[in-house]
Structure 1
Amino acid sequence: METIYYDKAIELLHKVSTPNGFLASAENTSNYQRVWARDGVICGLAALASGDEKLIKTFKNTLETLAKYQHELGTIPSNVLIGVDKVDVSYGGLAGRVDAVTWFIIGVCQYAFHTKDDSFIWKHENEIEKALRLLEAWEFNNRHLIYVPLSGNWADEYITDGYVLYDQLLRIWALKCYNYFKKSKTISVKIEKIEKQIEINFLPNSEGQKIHERAYYEMDFQDYLPCSFSPSGYKNQFDAFANSLALLLNIGTKKTQNKIVNHSYDLALSTKLGLLPAFWPQFLKMMNIGTY
């Protein structure tokens, strides 16, 4: 049975493969038949894991497309539509997509590592460096955490904004990937500073100067890391993607990590399908807004 699911997944990846990269959907729905940064890199990581040479080539094409249409300020496209007679590049809808930048860096580095092609890094070194400078600017207060607007990542109009945990962790991953090749002391120090700020502001009973001290000490921390905080305070929903990244990147103590794992397992068991929800409790329920 597991082989059937795997084969179907590989079949779907082939369906969304194009000469310009992976599309976000095989169906002509909304604007998903475009090369998307986030979806493309995640598909690309699956391609690397599969060992399928055609899919790996599509991943490379995805990264080349994103690099080609990088904004002069460093922004990586959220998505690109390449038609017969026109090219439509989007850097975001209601707001720019912060995570497109970090996923691009991760993708380039993972492709180079898997294919043992270091030249791919140096070919795109300029794009990576521009992207990293942009992330630095997005800190705004130079305190090592990037400030993400509402609708600034994959969660779209969900009410996560400000210092969003998911985006801080993607940045760490991107920096670690790049520094595997760059071996820069400056980058190593930056990684340490970001990790320290996450520890200070997202973990309970941590020492150090908080960015939002009053809100931090009013927070009721649970057995996981909160999804975000901003000048208006903390949002304490469980973000499955962010907490998964925290485990992947070895953030927090072993005790903290075990609490995240146990909470995730119990939460999944409590759902009808036995699956872990992306966010919990659901934002709509907490806001008393009906679904439609």
Structure 2
Amino acid sequence: MHNYAYHKAIDLLKKASSEDGFLASALDISNYKRVWSRDGVICGIAALASGDQKLIETFEKTIETLAAHQHQMGTIPSNVSFKGKNVEISYGGLAGRVDAVTWFIIGVCQIAFYKNDKTYLHKYKTNIEKCLQLLNAWEFNNKHLVYVPLSGNWADEYITDGYVLYDQLLRLWALQSYNYFEKCELITQKITNIRNQVEINFLPDSNGEKFHEKAYKNMKAKDYAPASFSPSGYKSQFDAFANSLLLILDLGTDQFKNDIISYSSCLIQETKLKVLPAFWPPVMEQDEEWSLLKDNCKYEFRNFPYEFHNGGSWPMVNGFYGLALFHNGEKESVSKLLNEVNNLNAAEDFSFYENFNTLTGKAIGVAKCAWSAAAAVMLHQTLNNNFKLLID
């Protein structure tokens, strides 16, 4: 099953390839027939893992497209659409996308690392430096954590805002990857400052001055890091993507990392699909946070409980959790998770759906979703061919 599913995933990545980069879906759906920053880089990482030269070339085209349409202020496009000679550039919908900037930096660095070619990095050094300057500005208070608007990242219809853990960790990954090549003392110090602030403000029983001492004390201790906090307090939902990045980046004590894995393992066993939901528990209509959710959509409402970002299960997110497990020596668990990801992707004759209803197991969202295929490729090659990401 693993090998057959792997080749089906590779086939989909090829079908989602265009002369301008990876498209979000191989289907002709307007909002997905675009070169997206985060989707494109995640598909690109899978391309590097596969070693397929054509897919790697598509990754390079993705980076070229994003760099060519960087805003003068430094913002990387959320997506770029090509319709004949007309080019449509989006830096976000209801809000700008902070993670477009960090994924771009990560993408450039992953290619340079794979090629063992620092000159590739230097090709985009000006673009990266503008990104880093913009991220510094987005701190607003110069205290080393970026402030993210509601709808400001991949969970663009969810409730997280303010100091969002996922975005802090992507920035950390981007800086560590860039500094692997640059060896800059100022960046080294910035990395240390960000790591310290993440541990102080997101991890339980941490020492140090908190951004929001009152809210931190009121936050119930968890076996994982909370999704976000803002002046109004903490949002304590489990963010599977963020906690996976935390494991990959080696933040926290060994005990805390084991707690995250234990919590995740129990949650997987409790669900019908035997994979991690993106966020947990779901926000229900009677919950106070429903008011943040119900109108946070540009087109149609999709965040019903157990679906989409609101407790839905995504193959892509589980791909990164699998990488986290491998990074922490849990190879047997990675193999089991890969099997479940392949089962999700195989639904309806390998339709590679975007996400699934965690309660019923029903496939929802867009089919032929490229980063669903990317998850399987990353996990397969990490497990079977020891593919290595650039982390630091």
The TM-score, its normalising length taken from structure 1, stands at 0.98
Instruction: Tell me what 1:279 maps to.
Output: 279
Aligned length: 292
The residue number in structure 2 matching 1:192 is: 192
Match of 1:71 in 2: 71
Partner of 1:259: 259
Alignment check: 8 A CA contact 1:240 1:279 kept: yes
Match of 2:105 in 1: 105
Residue 260 of structure 2 aligns to which amino acid in structure 1? I
Could you say which residue in structure 1 is the equivalent of 2:51?
51
2:4 alignment partner, SS class: helix
* 1:153 equivalent in structure 2: 153
Question: Which SS does the other structure have where 2:67 is aligned?
Answer: helix
Deviation at 1:117, TM superposition (A): 2.1
1:73/1:134 contact within 8 Å kept = yes
Distance verdict in 2 for CA 1:284–1:14, change over 3 Å: farther
SS at match of 1:101: helix
1: CA distance, partners of 2:119 / 2:85 = 32
Residue aligning to 1:180:
180
Q: C-alpha distance in 2, partners of 1:291/1:254?
A: 36
Tell me if the contact between 1:136 and 1:146 (Cα under 8 Å) persists in the aligned partners: yes
State the partner residue of 2:62. Answer: 62
Confirm or deny: 8 A CA contact 1:150 1:156 kept in the other structure: yes
Could you tell me how far apart the structure 2 residues matched to 1:239 and 1:268 are? 14
Distance 1:284 1:78, change over 3 A: farther
Question: In the aligned structure 2, how far is the partner of 1:173 from the partner of 1:227?
Answer: 17
Q: CA 1:38/1:284 → structure 2, altered by over 3 Å: closer, same or farther?
A: farther
Which consecutive unaligned segments of at least 5 residues does structure 1 have? none
Distance 1:283 1:99 in 2: 23
Q: Partner of 2:6 in structure 1?
A: 6
Counterpart of 2:304, as a letter, is: T
Q: Distance in 1 between matches of 2:125 and 2:169?
A: 21
Q: Partner of 1:291 in structure 2?
A: 304
**Alpha-carbon distance between aligned partners in 2 of 1:283 and 1:168, rounded to the nearest angstrom:** 23
Q: Return the letter of the residue paired with 1:47.
A: A
Q: Which amino acid aligns with 1:27?
A: L
| Alpha-carbon shift at residue 259 of structure 1 (Å) | 0.2
How far 1:205 sits from its partner (Å)? Answer: 1.3
Partner of 1:19: 19
Q: Is the 8 A contact 1:221 1:236 kept in 2?
A: no
SS at 2:112 equivalent: helix
The aligned runs of 1:98-247 (5 Å cut-off) are 98-247=98-247
Equivalent AA in structure 2 for residue 16 of structure 1? A
User: What is the SS of the residue equivalent to 1:229?
Assistant: strand
Q: Given residue 69 of structure 1, which amino acid in structure 2 is its aligned partner? A: H
How far does residue 283 in structure 1 lie from its aligned partner after superposition? 2.5
The residue type equivalent to 1:90 in the other structure is: S
Q: Structure 2 vs 1, CA of residues 205 and 18 (structure 1 numbering), >3 Å: closer, same or farther?
A: same
Letter in 1 for 2:124: H
User: Which deviations, in whole Å up to 9, do the C-alpha atoms of 1:118-166 show, x marking residues without a partner?
Assistant: 1111110000000000000000000000000000000012000000000
Which structure 2 residue ranges, 5 or more long, are not aligned? Answer: 295-302, 306-392
For 1:291, the aligned partner's letter is F
Please give the secondary structure, in 2, of the residue aligned with 1:89. Answer: strand
- Matched with 2:314 is none
Counterpart amino acid of 2:110?
A: Q
Q: Residues 174-229 of structure 1, C-alpha deviation per residue, up to 9 Å, x if partnerless?
A: 00000011100100000000000011100111111110110001110210000000
% identity of equivalent residues: 63
Residues 226-268 of structure 1 deviation map (CA, whole Å, 9 limit, x = unaligned) = 0000011000000000000000000000000000001011101
Structure 1: which amino acid aligns with 2:87? V
SS at match of 2:38: helix
Question: What is the CA–CA distance in structure 1 between the aligned matches of 2:14 and 2:79, rounded to whole Å?
Answer: 19
In the aligned structure 2, how far is the partner of 1:223 from the partner of 1:207? 17
Contact 1:158/1:283 (8 A) holds in 2: no
- Shift in Å at residue 282 of structure 1? 1.1
Shift of 1:84: 1.0
1:4-56 deviation per Cα after TM superposition (whole angstroms, max 9, x unaligned): 11001100100000110000011122411000000000000000000000000
Residue 87 of structure 1 is matched in structure 2 by 87
Deviates more, 1:24-33 or 1:182-191: 24-33
Residue in structure 1 matched with residue 39 of structure 2 by the alignment:
39
For 1:188 and 1:88, locate their aligned partners in 2 and report how far apart those are by CA, in whole Å: 37
The separation in 2 between residues aligned to 1:31 and 1:198, in whole angstroms, is: 34
How high is the TM-score relative to the length of structure 2? 0.73
User: Would you say the 8 A contact 1:102–1:171 is kept in 2?
Assistant: yes
SS in 2 for 1:283: coil
Letter of the aligned partner of 1:161 in structure 2? D
Q: Any runs of at least 4 consecutive aligned residues in structure 1 with deviations exceeding 2 A, and if so which? A: 283-292
Match of 1:96 in 2: 96
After superposing the two structures, state which structure 1 stretch, 281-290 or 130-139, moved more: 281-290
Q: CA RMSD in A?
A: 1.2
Amino acid at match of 1:194: I
Deviation readout 1:46-86 (Å, 9 max, x if unpaired): 00000000000000000000000000000000000122120
